[in-house]
Amino acid sequence: MNILSRFKAMFRLLFNSRIRLIDKLPIILMLLYILSPIDLIPLPVLGFGILDDLVVFVVLMKLVDKTLLKYYNEDKKDLDPDHIITDVDYEIDENDDSEQ
């Protein structure tokens, strides 16, 4: 998933009424931290001022992925991996015998 699609998913997640506020709150707080002018490492300090924002951004993207998977999997919880058939070879019979 690229950055742009993660941003779109994050905003859809934030405005989705099915997602609990307790799951949205860390995302909101991280966004506020990134957008705020106050940083743990001040900008002029050896050029590392943006480092704390980058770390929070990476954690934010991982949290968005985790939250999306959590709610996506809740919708699909009736799918048991033991009951899914994969890697099946099949052939199509071109003679339709059902019309006889």
- The answer to whether residue 86 scores a pLDDT higher than 90 is no
Domain-embedded: residue 84: no
Predicted local distance difference test score (pLDDT) of residue 26 = 93
Predicted local distance difference test score (pLDDT) of residue 27 = 92
Domain-embedded: residue 95: no
Domain-embedded: residue 81: no
Domain-embedded: residue 99: no
Domain-embedded: residue 35: yes
DSSP H helical ranges for 1-100: 3-14, 21-35, 51-75
Supply the range of the domain harboring residue 45. 9-74
Number of structural domains, the chain? 1
d(CA 99, CA 77): 40
Domain-embedded: residue 89: no
Domain-embedded: residue 4: no
Q: Indicate the pTM of the whole model.
A: 0.62
Predicted local distance difference test score (pLDDT) of residue 74 = 59
